[in-house]
Amino acid sequence: MRNLTRTLRPDFLPRSSGILLHVTSLPGPHGCGDLGAAAHRFLEFLAESGQGWWQMLPIGPPGRAPGWSPYDSASAFAGSLWLVSLTSIARQGLLPPHELKPPPGLTSRRVNFVATLRYREEQLRRAFAGFRRRRGERRYDFREFCDANADWLEDFALFMALRRDSGGKTWTEWEAAVRRREPSALRAARERLRDEIAGHRFVQFEFDRQWRSLREHAHRLGIGLIGDLPIFVAHDSADVWSHPELFQLDRRGQPRRVSGYPPDRFSRNGQHWGHPQYRWAANEQTGFAWWVRRFERIFELFDVVRIDHFLGFTRTWSIPAGAANARSGRWVKSPGFKLFAAVARTLGPRPMIAEDLGQVTPADVRLRDSFGLAPMRLFQFGFGTEADSVDHLPHNYSQLCAAYPGNHDNDTTVGWFQGLPASKRRRVQAYVGGHPSTIHHDTLRALFASPASLVIFPLQDLLGLDSRARMNVPGTVDGNWNWRLKSQPPAATVKTVRSLTEMFGRCPAPHLRGENQSPRPSRYSSEP
């Protein structure tokens, strides 16, 4: 596979643009979007539209009910079984295609998390049974994948097997010897659950195969993939269970202090995320080995990485574990310079975007600029009352920045505009020109014309969708992360977005297009 990362400058030059869309939001017959045909068709849409980037949310296993958040994953390394295409597996002969008709409700406009997970797990178990009956090259490839990723895969597969064996209990409720990872207890568990463990290895193997196919297709089209690295991991995760010494836990494995954010423009009580806080001194004693491996892993999958909650690398809002909200938290310093230096020593310079949103301090700016990370700028924040609001207006953007109308935590542009007071709507309209009915298009035009080297816009904004298409409301649990496209974007949108891309010089440069690629006819189809 051609490695685009090595041909990209960390400052994202030349000018380019792309679309933010999580894979689960794609259309598809099995409850949510996945890495199958719809993802490949979306790449064709991006290429025909002149876009150089596809940005996603975290692709690990999402959190459990009630939140189902991709930022609350059971692993910082594994891929999500939700994204494994069952149709692709059926084409290998591991599932009968005629039996893949999903039960009612899985093709709706919203992800039914419970039903989708149940259906996909059942089908993947059947596929693994078929895989075990196979012989030949695929079995060799499977062993090779397991050996190459054993450092995280073995703990993850065992964790997931133990979780199911316990009836879904969190790891702090498991048998004491297993909870404490006593070697004899782990050996016994691996032997007793060897088939279940092998099944989880298979799902990761198939995820890896399908991901590589998608990324190779993207690179042939000259499209880079932008991933998302959350700063925290879920307490009920393979990472915390297998590396408890790196987190602030008590003797029973429960968090002493947890993550969140102080009261701000999103929430007057702040945000109580609930992830365990790090024991930074213990991480530093290892040379930040776990962190370096996290970065290495995500750059195995993506060309550029967005660092979620970048401000947390200079200080985190630490909340007592039993607190009802985030108001009782306090700031605790983080060793961001030492951490990013350790990553740079191992991986060299890599293109990264810093989600530097919130109460930005001089220390945050020094850390970001010292390692060449691109700041984020959100158009919606440009019309606030905070002191830094003017930094988010397009005419004030620096060349090195990633500009967005809003991100996954914001309302859609149409929904945001409709919810503004009349006086502020007039101000926004005066800034972008145009008409209220075209506010989403006018906003994109302002961003495309800005000095920002990179512009990323949610697909919802390209389609002019209102608040019903919002992905997440910070500080809430229910009703998030479940928005889906009914079908691929209309073919007419290709002309709309490509005209903006060409007008403002953001079409990918020839060196980002596939090597030795000749002009090709359009293969984009508006059919799901």
User: What is the 3 state secondary structure string of 155-192?
Assistant: HHHHHHHHHHHCCCCCHHHCCHHHHCCCHHHHHHHHHH
Interhelix angle for 150-165 vs 289-301, to 10°? 90
CATH code, 4-512? 3.20.20.80
Quick one: tokens of 205?
């193997």
Structure confidence at residue 509 (pLDDT): 52
Q: What is the pLDDT of residues 364-389, one digit of tens each?
A: 999 999 999 999 999 999 999 888 99
Q: What is the pLDDT of residues 99-125, one digit of tens each?
A: 898 777 787 789 999 999 999 999 999
pLDDT tier for residue 521 given thresholds of 50, 70 and 90: very low
Structure confidence at residue 491 (pLDDT): 84
Contact between 496 and 17 under an 8 Å Cβ cutoff? The reply is no
The residue ranking higher by pLDDT, 12 or 246, is 246
Q: Mean pLDDT lowest for which of 107-116, 117-126, 395-404, 416-425?
A: 107-116
d(CA 235, CA 256): 11
Place of tokens 């701000």: 264
Which listed residue (11, 391, 409, 466) is catalytic?
409
Which listed residue (206, 239, 303, 355) is catalytic?
355
Of 453, 58, 47, 403, nearest in space to 223 by CA: 47
Contact between 452 and 375 under an 8 Å Cβ cutoff? The reply is no
d(CA 19, CA 12): 15
Of 224, 79, 90, nearest in space to 157 by CA: 79
Contact between 261 and 273 under an 8 Å Cβ cutoff? The reply is yes
Helix (H, G, I), strand (E, B) or coil at 319: strand
Whether 523 shows a pLDDT value over 50: the answer reads no
Contact between 458 and 405 under an 8 Å Cβ cutoff? The reply is yes
User: Strands 224-229 and 53-55, how do they pair?
Assistant: parallel
Which listed residue (308, 364, 411, 461) is catalytic?
308
Quick one: tokens of 450?
């800005």
Write the Ramachandran bin of 481: left for phi over 0, alpha for psi from -120 to 50, otherwise beta: left
355 is catalytic: yes
Query: CB within 8 A of 310, min separation 6: which ones?
Result: 231, 354, 355, 356, 364, 367, 368, 373
478 is catalytic: no
Whether 287 shows a pLDDT value over 90: the answer reads yes
Distances (CA, A) of 527 to 27, 102, 292, 351, 489: 10, 19, 41, 34, 9
DSSP state of 526: S
Portion of the chain with pLDDT greater than 90, in percent: 84
Measure CA of the first residue to CA of the last residue in the chain; give whole Å.
Answer: 27
Place of tokens 């004899």: 184
Q: For the whole model, what pTM was predicted? A: 0.94
Quick one: tokens of 284?
């530093």
Contact between 303 and 224 under an 8 Å Cβ cutoff? The reply is yes
Average pLDDT, the chain: 92
Q: What is the pLDDT of residues 173-231, one digit of tens each?
A: 999 999 999 999 999 999 999 999 999 999 999 999 999 999 999 999 999 999 999 99
Instruction: Describe the chain by its helix, strand, coil percentages, rounded to 5.
Output: 45, 10, 40
d(CA 247, CA 514): 43
